[in-house]
Amino acid sequence: MPKILVTRNVGPEAMKLLQATPFELIVNPEDAEPSREWVLENISDPEVVAACIMHGQPSDKVDAELLAHAGKGLKVISTFSVGFDHIDVKAANARGIKIGHTPGVLSDSVADIATMLVLMTMRRVEEGIALVKSGGWPHLPWAPFVMCGPGMNHPNLTIGFLGFGRISECVVDRLLAFTNKSAPPRIVYNSSRARDNQAEIDAKFSQRWGVDVQRVEKDTLAEQADIVIVLCALTPETTDAVDAAFLKKMKKTAVLVNAARGPIVNSEDLNAALDAGELFGAGLDVITGEPHIAPDHPLVLNKRCVVIPHMGSADYDTRNAMADLCVRNAIAGAEGKALPAEVKV
């Protein structure tokens, strides 16, 4: 009897889909990360044809060790995530194992968090919360401009994106509901390289939103943007894309939001730039070294920086949709069919 391995309960709805198949299920009995040994032992079962794995569980790392243990029948590994930096895709493919992931379904959810972080950062909410919690509110001398930040309704803002995929487009949809109607913003973005038909692409974007949209070089983006939003994939090229040189070029009144992957923004450089007043504030859903972030991490202590624990896709509908796609990738692969969402590298 062919089997599907599930390294973590994926919720009642997606589990029902699995139970409705003819496949036997091997499910981690605990609602906790299994041991690496449990994963390696079960994936070596020659009857296991598909495996649902997690991004957030180090036990599920798909490396040479895991692939060496994989049974001969294994056809697909399906990760509960859009990112696949925990999977050696090439090595898996070389062994004839397809990799499934969950793109698309979390765009809205991550765009919500990115937009929220823009608002929180411009309006100094980290500082505001800290003031209340420290008992400082009663002693805050009221004044016309106390605790003020730049506003979203400011005329002719420039909004910059590092990476301009589907999530960035969703963020544009949202931010345009906040920005000044009579003096609308301009959108600039940087993507890995300019296309041959770049002007045509940008004209289409501009028409779609009714505001000027333009691909620019990274330095131009740093210099011009009032809001910088990082939403590119983590690659060797994008690692430290936001470094001391980038930050130094930013406007003193500008804010930075990272809702992609931690290492795209250099933490030491960001902290130094915030302390030097080179930018107004930063909002991070992700940070290098997560989740091993100590409470005395300089960016956690920095009052112009808000750090939240990678909650971009953490809403019930989104996680259910991810579970659904993860399970459908596994079932399709187990049945020898094309995956609804296969990672192609």
Residues marked active site are found at 310
CB of 210 to a copy of itself, least distance (A): 14
Binding mask 167-196 for a copy of itself (x = CB under 8 A): ------xx-xxx------------------
With CB under 8 A as the contact rule, the residue among 315, 335, 340, 342 that binds a copy of itself is 315
Please state the closest distance from residue 330 (CB atom) to a copy of itself, in A: 14
Q: Of 147 and 245, which CB lies nearer to a copy of itself in the complex structure? A: 147
CB 65 within 8 A of CB 44: no
Binding string, 49-88, against a copy of itself, x = CB under 8 A?
Answer: -----x-xx----------------------x--------
In 10 A of CB 156, how many CB atoms?
Answer: 12
Place of tokens 């409470």: 295
Instruction: Rule CB under 8 A: choose which of 190, 238, 318, 329 binds a copy of itself.
Output: 318
By CB under 8 A, what part of segment 106-125 binds a copy of itself?
108-109, 112-113, 115-116, 119-120, 122-125
Q: Is the CB of residue 70 less than 8 Å from the CB of residue 313? A: no
Does position 293 bind a copy of itself by CB under 8 A?
yes
What is the layout of strands, in order, in the sheet containing 3-6?
24-27, 3-6, 48-54, 76-80, 98-100
Binding mask 17-36 for a copy of itself (x = CB under 8 A): --------------xxx---
Minimum Å gap between C-beta 77 and a copy of itself is 17
Question: What Å distances lie between residue 216 and 17, 66, 221, CA to CA?
Answer: 45, 42, 6
Kindly state the smallest distance separating residue 297's Cβ from a copy of itself, in Å.
8
**Contact status, residue 123 vs residue 185, Cβ threshold 8 Å:** no
Stretch 242-281 residues interacting with a copy of itself (CB under 8 A)? none
Stretch that binds a copy of itself, among 7-15, 37-45, 91-99, 333-341 (CB under 8 A): 7-15
Residue 210 vs 291, nearer CB to a copy of itself:
291
Q: Which residues pair with 189 in a beta bridge?
A: 161, 215
User: Does 316 help bind a copy of itself (rule: CB under 8 A)?
Assistant: yes
Dihedral angle of Cα 87, 91, 93, 95, to the nearest 10 degrees: -120
Shortest approach of a copy of itself to residue 72 CB, angstroms?
29
SS3 for 14? helix
For 78, phi and psi rounded to 5 degrees?
-115, 115
Q: Is 16 in the site for a copy of itself (CB under 8 A)?
A: no
Three-state secondary-structure class, residue 50: strand
Given 17, 40, 91, 131, the residue binding a copy of itself (CB under 8 A): 131
| 338 lies in the site for a copy of itself, by CB under 8 A | no
| Cα 246 from Cα 218, distance rounded (Å) | 8
Q: Least Å distance between CB 338 and a copy of itself?
A: 25
DSSP 3-state of 18: helix
CB of 115 to a copy of itself, least distance (A): 7
Which range in 41-49, 62-70, 270-278, 309-317 contacts a copy of itself by CB under 8 A? 309-317
Closest-CA residue to 121 (of 221, 218, 229, 239)? 229
Of 97, 15, 80, nearest to 88 by C-alpha is: 97
- At a CB cut-off of 8 Å and minimum separation 6, what does 121 contact? 255, 256, 257, 280, 281, 282, 283, 306
